[in-house]
Chains A and B, each alone.
Chain A
Amino acid sequence: MRLLTHNMLSCNIKGVANGFPLRLEAEKWVEKEVELNADFLRHIFPKIEWKALAGAARAVGYCELPEEADAAMLDSEDFLRRFHHALLEIHVEEGALVCPETGRGFPITKGIPNMLLHEDEV
């Protein structure tokens, strides 16, 4: 699971109002280099919740993202490289995503988050 996905996931339990961001508890992660595509990064940037990304990156030991970001930074190659690395090159293999409201944990196994709900949560 890339941090891109972490940034797009929210708790889907019925009645939960504040299910984002899910707290990332990473036990195992890997880094895989992938070609940087500035066009994709610029396109996705406005949709990214920056604080959630920076927090998730810290949870896997990557502390090179600024606390805040605005679109003007996309002109900086250095910024793009860090954004790219955090968003697309870190893969969480094992761990959990924890709902900030209910504390419900969603397991991440072999890189796949499991967002399936129990009957009483739907």
Chain B
Amino acid sequence: MVEFGTHQHMWGPRRVTKLLGGIPVLRFPGSFDRSYPARSFPRGDAGHPAASALPEPSCRPVSSDVPISEALLMKVSRTAQIGLVSCHPEVYEPCDDSFALVDALLADREHLIEHRPRLCMELGCGSGYVISSLAIMLGELGCGVNYFATDINPDAAQVTRETLEAHGLHAEVISTDIASGLQKRLAGMIDVVVVNPPYVPTPEEEVGCKGITASWAGGENGRTVIDRIFPVADELLSEKGWLYMVTLTANNPTQVCRMMKEKGYASRIIVQRSTEEESLHVIKFWRDGVIANSAEGSDSWLSQFPFKSFWRSSGTSA
């Protein structure tokens, strides 16, 4: 891990990105024991010059100088505790993209609370960090919300269950391809869908491979799995439903939003984050005409996109 960080400049851009997607090489200092308020990563804050000096990811509870109980931590924290996230060599550990998604959900938390979702679902739950965080930040809605989480990797499903349990949370976890087996009966019932998909451009053969490869391998333009997820999300989402999705510049998010517009969805970037290698966007989608919330009613998806930065970053990373 340290080596990748140190020698990253020697790798070709795609190779680097691929490693980034699969192995949590570049972590923001402090990511391991994050507690609310979330670190903010201003755009352009690469945040990783010290990557090689970072500690190994810890799977054990974070030890603290302050004798502060986990219970108290949970109370003040609005996200899952990294120290309580379970791990497995074949399961994606919380990484920059996971944190970006959780930060997007946090940024939208007030709206989510007002939204009063009853069923929420994460597709590709990996370690369970995101679904646990969502359940924690919606905690005040109590037992009125129920959660589903799926992953194509059975080890990830198991790790998600452990992470949820470590936080005293519950979600129904299912090993399946996207939402296969669920989507028929759950059609039109899910109020919030969250996805941090495998988005790294790779050869098509790598898509759907077993184990950790499935966490990053996104096929051509990193869009193969993403493009399969959208119709499923469209089917699952309730009339008022919201979808939060992580994308990479290489996925062509403007085109993604245009495609979703044709299907009747408005969209908005909730979080944008750039490192030297990749620029991540967390985009929220909702059915056009259904007011997502008072602040967003008049938003135009087009005005949301910092086109220039897309061009700039695709120039360096594509």
- Residues on A with beta carbons closer than 8 Å to the beta carbon of B161: 110-112
- Residues on A with beta carbons closer than 8 Å to the beta carbon of B170: 34
Q: Which of A3-11, A54-62, A75-83 contacts B (4 or more CB under 8 A)?
A: A3-11
Assembled-state Cα–Cα distance A40/B176 (Å)? 25
Question: Which residues of chain B have a CB within 8 Å of any CB of chain A?
Answer: 118, 142-146, 148, 152, 154, 157-158, 161, 170, 172-177, 180-182, 184-186, 189
Q: Closest residue to B184 on the A side, CB-wise?
A: A10
Contact between B176 and A5, CB atoms less than 8 A apart: no
Contact between B172 and A43, CB atoms less than 8 A apart: no
- Residues on B with beta carbons closer than 8 Å to the beta carbon of A36: 143
Residue of A4, A8, A47, A117 near B177 (CB, 8 A) is A117
A26 at the interface (CB under 8 A from B): no
Residue of A12, A43, A106 near B118 (CB, 8 A) is A43
Chain A 25-64 interface residues, beta-carbon cutoff 8 Å to B:
34-37, 39-40, 43-44, 47
Indicate whether A112 sits within 8 Å of B143 (C-beta atoms), given known contacts A10-B185, A20-B185, A117-B180. Answer: no
Assembled-state Cα–Cα distance A88/B186 (Å)? 16
A113 at the interface (CB under 8 A from B): yes
- Residues on B with beta carbons closer than 8 Å to the beta carbon of A117: 177, 180
Assembled-state Cα–Cα distance A40/B189 (Å)? 12
Chain A 78-122 interface residues, beta-carbon cutoff 8 Å to B:
88, 106, 110-117
Q: Most A CB atoms within 10 A — which of B142, B185, B189? A: B185
Contact between B146 and A40, CB atoms less than 8 A apart: yes
- Residues on B with beta carbons closer than 8 Å to the beta carbon of A20: 184-185
Residue of B118, B175, B177, B189 near A113 (CB, 8 A) is B175
Shortest distance between the CB of B214 and any CB in chain A (Å): 11
A24 at the interface (CB under 8 A from B): no
Interface residues as binary, A10-27 with B (CB distance below 8 Å gives 1, 0 otherwise): 111000000010000000
Residue of B152, B172, B175 near A4 (CB, 8 A) is B172
- Residues on A with beta carbons closer than 8 Å to the beta carbon of B177: 115-117
Residue of A2, A7, A40 near B144 (CB, 8 A) is A40
Contact between B185 and A8, CB atoms less than 8 A apart: yes
A sample of 7 cross-chain residue pairs with beta-carbon separation below 8 angstroms, ordered by A number, consists of A4-B146, A20-B184, A37-B142, A110-B161, A112-B158, A115-B181, A116-B154
Per CB-CB distance, the 3 closest pairs between chain A and chain B, nearest first, are: A115-B181, A115-B176, A12-B181
- Residues on B with beta carbons closer than 8 Å to the beta carbon of A111: 161, 173
Contact between A5 and B152, CB atoms less than 8 A apart: no
Q: Most A CB atoms within 10 A — which of B176, B181, B185? A: B181
Residue of A37, A110, A116 near B176 (CB, 8 A) is A116
Contact between B185 and A37, CB atoms less than 8 A apart: no
Residue of B143, B157, B174, B175 near A40 (CB, 8 A) is B143
Assembled-state Cα–Cα distance A37/B146 (Å)? 11
Q: Most B CB atoms within 10 A — which of A2, A8, A40, A47? A: A8
Contact between A47 and B143, CB atoms less than 8 A apart: no
Q: Closest residue to A32 on the B side, CB-wise?
A: B170
Assembled-state Cα–Cα distance A50/B118 (Å)? 20
Residue of A4, A37, A110 near B143 (CB, 8 A) is A37
- Residues on A with beta carbons closer than 8 Å to the beta carbon of B154: 112, 114, 116
